[in-house]
Amino acid sequence: KAGVTQTPRYLIKTRGQQVTLSCSPISGHRSVSWYQQTPGQGLQFLFEYFSETQRNKGNFPGRFSGRQFSNSRSEMNVSTLELGDSALYLCASSLATGPDTQYFGPGTRLTVL
């Protein structure tokens, strides 16, 4: 069974630009969550999607948004990029039928110059 895939793996952008990251969950998984990992703040929850609906959102500004498609694939978008948005963005998927393990993808390393 294929794992969680994320594209692109690396991205370099400049301040003010916007970026879209993509995540394909494990086949059959309906819940997709996004996390931001930085050396200073650690791993922080961004949002969770289930059946195309945002089920929960972390404490991030409105520049961070996401969506989920009918095939459970998810995208997150960051508009008006700031230097502080440089981070590893991790996507995780789970069955969401109970307290199931979340399986993480390899991440997208975003660098904002």
Partner 1 sequence: ELKVEQNPLFLSMQEGKNYTIYCNYSTTSDRLYWYRQDPGKSLESLFVLLSNGAVKQEGRLMASLDTKARLSTLHITAAVHDLSATYFCAVGQGSQGNLIFGKGTKLSVKP
Q: Token pair 């393990």 is at which residue?
A: 101
Segment contacting partner 1 (CB under 8 A): 12-20, 47-55, 64-72, 75-83?
47-55
- Contact call for residue 96 and partner 1 (CB under 8 A): yes
Residue reference for tokens 């069955």: 95
Peptide bond into 8 cis (omega under 30): yes
Task: Please state the closest distance from residue 73 (CB atom) to partner 1, in A.
Answer: 15
Is 15 or 43 the residue whose CB approaches partner 1 more closely? 43
CA angle centred on 93, ends 87 and 95, rounded to 5°: 165
Shortest Å, Cβ 11 to partner 1: 16
**Token pair belonging to 60:** 């991030």
Closer to partner 1 by CB, 24 or 102: give it: 102
